[in-house]
Chains A and B, each alone.
Chain A
Amino acid sequence: MIAAIRFQLSGYARSTRALPPVLALALLLGIVFSGPLGGTPAEARSGALTALGDLAALYFPICAWAARGLLDTEPDAQRHIGVVTLGRWRAMACGFAAAFVFNVCLALIAGAVPLVEAARSGVRASQLLPAMALLLLAALAATALGALASRALIPSPGRSVLVLLGVYVLDLLLGLGPLRVVTVPMIEWMGAAGRGPSAFTDALPWFALRTLAWAVLATALYARLRRMRA
């Protein structure tokens, strides 16, 4: 399976499809970190955690886009060869894993500046690690959304982009109302991050649980829909 994951990552990295999400992330990081996170150590601590919270929500669609791009880099006939070579479930798992690995790299890039800044300004590892875990869980949920919008399930590129952006926007809108419990809690964690480190840290387990549940359900849906498709 590792060879198959390496093959898909290698194909994606060699194609130009990997570049747009990376550039979009660079642009996002440029905007978020255009100024210092804070003057005093206390402000820097607060600013670093706020940035981590904001980033997890803002880089979600970029990760979903990257996952879709990675899965769509493989031509249909090559995907068929992969299914025959590895078996249906293993081939699907390898594609998903490759997309998640790429998104973990994006998460590490996105989290690098606030993590370094937070560590320098004296934030404890016990506060940083859950925030980093949230970034990774957001990457997992975004990978599942990207997979659901991939060509294997939605052959039309236009519809696929609509589904990807539509689900993201719907998630943000539902996050404002009473149905927010069924969403990836992006609006809430941006709000919690803005209220300060303690509010953010306290809310992390609940956010993480909901994000994980969303990712598991979306991945299960992807697996079910792929069951009957080549």
Chain B
Amino acid sequence: MRFNQVAFRYRRRAPWVLRDVTLTVPRGRIIEVNGRNGAGKSTLLRLVAGVVPPVRGSVGDRPPSVGYAPERFPAGQPFTARAYLGHMAAVRGVPAARVGEWAERLGFTGLLDTRLPDLSKGSAHKAGLIQALLAAPGLLVLDEPFAGLDAGTRAALPALLAELAAEGSSVIVSDHQGDLRSVPGVVRWQVADQTVHEGDPPEEQTVVEVIVARSQAEDLVGRLKADGYEARLR
């Protein structure tokens, strides 16, 4: 899947949220999307999932089966979790038994007969994850999937995502809390300045003062520069 010169804003004459985004979504990898609040992470995920089309540029080769869990699960719907997920399974054309399988994996079985509006925030979030996982998606887009989850599910989710990636899915996750740090091979995208940078964000710089005899100062500065540090004599 590929973004080519993608730009997006929500309304005409509104400020651009993203501009000139050109990137490739690698297959079979987990991508962690970072960035400060309001940087455009959720917008990027919506563009990836296909919730909104780009205003400029193009998005190509999106896998046919996409799972998407929004940041806030829409719990204000007049269904029990079982009825809702049963409907979603039918819409996706997968057997209803798949609901029970994923519910068991995410520790949700006991809540299947609870009405959606009565679910706690974390439990509603699990319902959102289950509906996204139902159809073995080739592309899985999860907006803040760790928020509100209980400790057990939170610890188990990275391994589950790694399993899906190993099976060939592209898994794109926005994450504030670094829950994917333990997973090897995670690709990192940084959303900042209306665009997306691939790779880890540059580490914060600091200044270390070294007091040394004047006769040794030039020699030390030379050695530090040779080691790749920025050093100067004052």
The answer to whether A81 touches B53 (Cβ under 8 A) is no
Within 8 A of B (CB), among A161-209: none
Within 8 A of A (CB), among B10-66: 46, 49-53, 55, 66
**Bound Cα distance from A78 to B84, whole angstroms:** 11
The answer to whether B51 touches A83 (Cβ under 8 A) is yes
Q: How far is the CB of A5 from chain B (nearest CB, A)?
A: 10
State which of A6, A81, A227, A228 has its C-beta within 8 Å of the C-beta of B131: A81
**Bound Cα distance from A144 to B131, whole angstroms:** 30
B119 within 8 A of A: no
B87 within 8 A of A: yes
The answer to whether A11 touches B79 (Cβ under 8 A) is yes
Q: How far is the CB of B45 from chain A (nearest CB, A)?
A: 10
B76 within 8 A of A: yes
A156 within 8 A of B: no
- A84-92, A127-135, A217-225 - interface stretch: A84-92
Chain B residue numbers with a CB within 8 Å of A6 are 87, 90
Q: How far is the CB of A97 from chain B (nearest CB, A)?
A: 13
Most chain B CB atoms below 10 A, which of A6, A10, A81: A81
CB closest residue in chain B, given A5:
B91
* A interface bracket (residues with beta carbon within 8 Å of B): 20 to 34
Q: How far is the CB of B8 from chain A (nearest CB, A)?
A: 10
A10/B87 contact (C-beta < 8 A), A80-B68, A228-B53, A230-B46 known: yes
B147 within 8 A of A: no
A77/B72 contact (C-beta < 8 A), A6-B87, A85-B88, A230-B46 known: yes
A81/B87 contact (C-beta < 8 A), A14-B78, A75-B77, A228-B53 known: no
A76 within 8 A of B: yes
Interface of A, helix, strand, loop or mixed by DSSP:
helix
Chain A residue numbers with a CB within 8 Å of B131 are 81
**Bound Cα distance from A190 to B74, whole angstroms:** 43
**Bound Cα distance from A187 to B106, whole angstroms:** 59
The answer to whether A7 touches B87 (Cβ under 8 A) is yes
A3 within 8 A of B: yes
Chain B residue numbers with a CB within 8 Å of A22 are none
A29 within 8 A of B: no
A84/B49 contact (C-beta < 8 A), A11-B79, A77-B73 known: yes
Q: Type the 1/0 row for A40-70, where 1 means its CB is closer than 8 Å to any CB of B.
A: 0000000000000000000000000000000
The answer to whether A7 touches B91 (Cβ under 8 A) is yes
Q: How far is the CB of A156 from chain B (nearest CB, A)?
A: 14
Q: Which 8 A-B pairs have the closest CB atoms?
A: A75-B74, A3-B90, A14-B78, A77-B74, A84-B68, A7-B87, A78-B74, A77-B70
Q: Which residues of B contact A (CB under 8 A)?
A: 46, 49-53, 55, 66-68, 70, 72-74, 76-79, 87-88, 90-93, 131-132, 135, 141
If A15-B78, A81-B88 are given as contacts, then 16 extra A-B residue pairs at C-beta distance below 8 Å, sorted by A number, are A3-B87, A6-B87, A7-B87, A7-B91, A14-B79, A74-B77, A77-B74, A80-B68, A81-B132, A82-B91, A84-B141, A85-B68, A87-B50, A88-B53, A228-B55, A230-B51
